[in-house]
Amino acid sequence: MDAEVRRILDRYLVEVVETFQLCPWARAARERDDIAVEIVWGAPDDATLVTAAERALARGRVAMVVTPTWAITAAELRAVRDRIAQRIPGAGVADFHPEAALDLTTPARVVPFVRRSPDPMLQLVPFTILDEVRAPPAAADLARQAAILRGAESPVDVATTIAAANHKTVTAHADEIVAILDDIAADRARSY
C-alpha cells in the first residue's frame, strides 16, 4: 500500500508541481533523489510525526510526511504544523491538504491551492537549505541601485517572487490544474 501512496504523491509532484513550475527546485530535488518520504497510517500523534519527520530529514534534503488515512481538516493540520515546527526548530514546516480551495484574490491566497496534495502531508526543509535559497541576490549594478532608490524598482525576496509567479500560472491554468488534481484524487480513491 505504501507504494501506491508514493505513486499518487509522485503524480502530484510531477504532473502539478513540476509541470506548472510551482516550485523552482522540485524537479531537481526529485531527480537527485533528495526527497525522503515517510508514510504514517492512522491518526498519528505529534511524537509519531516528529519521529517520521526526523527519519526523513536524515535521508533527504526535503522531508515529506504523508498521512493517507488521517481524517484531519486543513485548519487542524495547520495547527499540527505549528506544533511540529516548535518540536523541530531547525526546519521550515509546510502543510499540504487535499481540501485546499482555489482563491485567486492574491498571490498569498493561492498558496494553499498550490499545496493541494492528494493526502494530508507535512513538508520539512532544513533552514540551512532555505537560507541558501533566500540568500540576498548579488549586488545590483549602479543603474538598478538608482532605480531602487527612486522607488521605481524594489528588491524582492524569493518567496514573494515564487508566490507572484504561481499566482500568474494558476490564474492562467486553473481549469487544467483542477482537472489534473481531480484525476489524481480519483486515482487515489481507486487505489487505496
The answer on pLDDT for 169 being more than 90 is yes
What share of the chain in percent tops pLDDT 90? 79
Predicted TM-score (pTM) of the model is: 0.86
The answer on pLDDT for 151 being more than 90 is no
Q: Mean pLDDT over residues 106-123, rounded?
A: 96
The predicted pLDDT at position 158 comes to 74
The predicted pLDDT at position 159 comes to 79
Q: Mean pLDDT over residues 175-192, rounded?
A: 98
Q: List, in order, residues 6 or more apart from 106 with CB less than 8 Å away.
A: 167
The answer on pLDDT for 134 being more than 60 is no
Domain coverage including residue 161: 2-191
Tell me the pLDDT band of 131, cut-offs 50, 70 and 90: low
Q: Which residue has the higher pLDDT, 128 or 146?
A: 128
Tell me the pLDDT band of 161, cut-offs 50, 70 and 90: confident
Q: List, in order, residues 6 or more apart from 115 with CB less than 8 Å away.
A: 94, 95, 96, 97, 100
DSSP label of 41: -
Q: What's the pLDDT tens digit per position in 78-107?
A: 999 999 999 999 999 999 999 999 999 999
The answer on pLDDT for 122 being more than 90 is yes
Please tell me the total count of domains within the chain: 1
Residue type, 40: V
